[in-house]
Structure 1
Amino acid sequence: MHSFKGETFNMHRRTIETSEIVQPERLSLPRRSAIVAIPARNEAERIARCLSALAVQRDRLGAPITPGHFGVLLLVNNSTDGTADVARKLVPNLPYPLEILEASLLRNATAGGARRRAMQEAAERLGKGSANGVLLTTDADSLVTPTWFIDNLHHLDSGVDCVAGYIDAEPAEIVSLGASFLARGRLEDTYLRLVAEIYALCDPRAYDPWPNHRVSSGASLAVTLAAYEAVGGMPDKALGEDAAFTTLLDQRGFKVCHPLDVSVVTSCRLNGRATGGAADTMRYRRETPDAPCDDDLEPAVKTLLRASLRGFLRKAYQQDGIEQALSRLLGRGRLDRAASLPFLEMWREIEARHPKLQKRTPLRPSDLPRQIAAANFILRHVRPNWRRIDVPKDKYLHAISYASVDA
C-alpha cells in the first residue's frame, strides 16, 4: 500500500507473459482521471530521472500540484536490467500512484508496440468512455518540464483533443556530440522554425495557432480518452506510431495542437533501444555531417507552394467551392472521387497526383543556409499579408492557377 496526505493507493506488479491483454487492476485516482503511460526497456540508468521529474510538477503560479491529480503507469517491457527494481524503490517517495507492469511482449516487441500497450493499459484503467479522461505519454529517457502536466491540461481545456509537445535535446549530451553535430542541429532547427511559420500563416487553423511547431513525438503527447478511443488507440507500428497517431486524429476531424509551451528534454544517446530509431539516425548524422535531413524538409519555394495550396484548398473545401478549384488544379476530367473525400484524404491524393508537389532529393545541411535566406525573404512578404488568405470563394481559381497542371 502507498499513502500520502491521508489517501491510500493500491500498488502492485503484474507480469504479462503473452501479447494478450488481461483484465487489469485499477489505479486509484480520486480527483482527476489522468494517467501518464511510459514504456521502458533497459532504462535502469534513466528511469529515476524521468519519474522524479513527474514528482515535482507544479501549477502555473508555482504551487505543487496536489497529489492524486494523475497516476503513472510504467510498462517495463522485455528488459534485462533492473529498470523495474529502480522504479519500485522510488514508490515511497513519489506524490503520485505508480503502477509498474513487467511485460514480455512476444508480438510487436518494438518501441511503437510498447507504447501502444502502455497506452492501452492506461486507457483501460481510466474506464471506457470516462468523462474528462486524459491519457499522457512520455519516454523513459526524457525529462518533462515542471509545468508539463498543467500546461497539457490547459490546452486540452481550451478545446483541442490532442497536445503534441515540443522536444528539446538534453544540453550536455548534444554538446558532447561535437561542434559539427551541434551546428547541423542549429541549422535544421532554424529552418524548421521558418517552415512552421510558413505553414501557420498560409494554412492557418485556429486551434493550432502560431507560434507552434510541426513535430509529433511520443516523448510528449496528451490526448482525451474520447479521441483516443474514437480512432482505435495508437496505430500498430514498430516506429513512427506517434506521428501516425496525430495524423489519424487529424484525418478523423480531431483537433491537434503543437504548442511551444509544452515541452520535454530528451536523451541524445547514440545507442538506442529501437533499431532505426532516433539514436541510429543521430549516430549516422554524426558520422556523416552532410547526411540528408528529414524527408519532409524541402526547399522554401516548394514549402510555400505546398502550404499555400493546402490553405486555399482547405478554405475552398469549407466554403463548398472545392470541385471548381480541383478542376482547375488537376485538369478537367481528373476529379474522380477526390472532391467527395474528407479533406486530408483529398489532399493526399492531390499530393500524389500533382507533378509540382512530388518529393525530390532531400535537403542536406549544406543546402540550408540558402534555404533559410529564401524562407526569410518569403516571410517578409507573407507576414504583412497573411490575413488576405481569407479571400472570397470566387478568388480561389486565380489563387491556384499558377500551380495548375497545365500552367
Structure 2
Amino acid sequence: MRFMGIDVVIPVHDEQELLAGCLDSLEACAEATPVPVTVTVVLDSCTDDSEAIARGRARIVRSDARNVGAARAVGFDALSVPSSPDRSGQRWYATTDADSRVPPTWLADQLRLALDGADLVAGLVEVTDWSGWNPATRVRYLEGYRSGSEHRHIHGANIGISARAYRELGGFERLPVHEDVHLVHRAERAGLSVAWSTATPVTTSARRHSRTPGGFSGHLALTELDHTPPGHTASDTTARGHTRSGVTP
C-alpha cells in the first residue's frame, strides 16, 4: 500500500486570532512529510478576517452551515474522489481545528500507522495555556485524561483516515457536535482498524468561549462546575466525557 498525498481539512468560524498559527504549524508539518500535503480551509459563516489570513496559504471552501460537522464534511466533499478502488496509490485524509497547532511529525506518524494497517488514526491533544481557568479545573481535567496507549479519546483536532475508508463510511455527519466521535464509532462497527495514537499530540486552545457549542471549552466548563461549592447546583455532567473534543471512558 502506498499513499500519493495527504489532504488536511480545517473548519473555520471567525478564527482570525489563531488561524495563522495553525497554518504555520501545518506548513512546518508538510515540510517533514514524505508525500505532498494539501490544506483546505472551510470558511463557515465567517465575518472576520479569516479568509484574508488563509488566502494564498490554503485552498478555500465556503459554507454557511454554522456547523462544525457540516464544515468538515464540506471540506472533504470538495476533494477529488480517489480514483483507485483498492489500497494502492490512495490518499490519506486528516483534520484538525483552527485553534490548534500540529507537531512537525503529525502527518508522518499517521502515515506510519497507516502503512502498518490502520484505516483511521485517533490522536491526543494537549493544552499548554490554562490561564483562563482555575488550577483545580486543570488538575481535574488532567486526572481524567488518559494519555497512554490504552486511551480512547476522540478529538476533531487530531484525526486521520484513509480516503477509501472515509468514503466507505460516508464521511463526517453534518452534526453540530460529536461528528468526530460518530465517525470513529462507525469505523469500529464496520470492522476497520483504528489506531489510538500517542505519538504526536496536537496543541489545542483552552479558551473559555468556544466557536462550537458543546466543544472543548464546554467540556472544561463542566469540569469546572464539578468544583461548585456546597449549596450550589452544577449542571448535569453525564456527557462530560463524550464531547466533540474527546471521549473519556
Normalised-by-shorter TM-score class: 0.7 to 0.9
Q: CA RMSD in A?
A: 2.4
Query: 2:32, 2:105 within 8 Å by CA — same for their partners in 1?
Result: no
- 2:63 equivalent among 82, 103, 114: 103
TM-score by length of 1: 0.52
Q: Give the number of the structure whose residues are more often helix, by fraction.
A: 1
Moved more, 145-154 or 226-235: 226-235
After superposition, the Cα gap between the structure-2 partners of 1:294 and 1:167, relative to the gap in structure 1 and judged at 3 Å, is: farther
> Which 4+ runs in 1 deviate beyond 3 A?
63-66, 125-131, 290-297
* Bigger Cα Rg: 1
CA separation in 2, counterparts of 1:52 and 1:80?
Answer: 22
Structure 1's unaligned 5+ residue stretches are: 1-30, 92-97, 194-209, 298-407
Q: Given the alignment of the two structures, is residue 216 of structure 1 paired with residue 174 of structure 2, yes or no?
A: no
State the partner residue of 2:126. Answer: 168
State the partner residue of 2:113. Answer: 155
CA separation in 2, counterparts of 1:233 and 1:128?
Answer: 17
- 1:133 equivalent among 85, 91, 113: 91
Deviation at 1:293, TM superposition (A): 5.5
Query: 1:164, 1:259 within 8 Å by CA — same for their partners in 2?
Result: yes
Aligned residues: 231
- 1:280 equivalent among 208, 214, 218: 218
State the partner residue of 1:246. Answer: 184
1:215-241, Cα deviation, whole Å (9 max, x unpaired): 121111111111111111112322101
1:165-197, Cα deviation, whole Å (9 max, x unpaired): 11112x12x2441211112123212xx46xxxx
Q: Which has the higher contact order (CA 8 A, sep 6+)?
A: 2
CA separation in 2, counterparts of 1:167 and 1:294?
Answer: 22
After superposition, the Cα gap between the structure-2 partners of 1:48 and 1:296, relative to the gap in structure 1 and judged at 3 Å, is: closer
TM-score by length of 2: 0.83
State the partner residue of 1:121. Answer: 78
CA separation in 1, counterparts of 2:10 and 2:115?
Answer: 23
After superposition, the Cα gap between the structure-2 partners of 1:52 and 1:140, relative to the gap in structure 1 and judged at 3 Å, is: same
CA separation in 1, counterparts of 2:95 and 2:204?
Answer: 13
CA separation in 2, counterparts of 1:141 and 1:257?
Answer: 24
CA separation in 2, counterparts of 1:176 and 1:147?
Answer: 29
After superposition, the Cα gap between the structure-2 partners of 1:288 and 1:296, relative to the gap in structure 1 and judged at 3 Å, is: closer
Identical pairs, percent: 24
CA separation in 2, counterparts of 1:64 and 1:34?
Answer: 13
State the partner residue of 1:38. Answer: 10
Counterpart residue type for residue 126 of structure 2: D
Question: SS of 1:33's equivalent?
Answer: strand
State the partner residue of 1:289. Answer: 227
Query: 1:163, 1:221 within 8 Å by CA — same for their partners in 2?
Result: yes
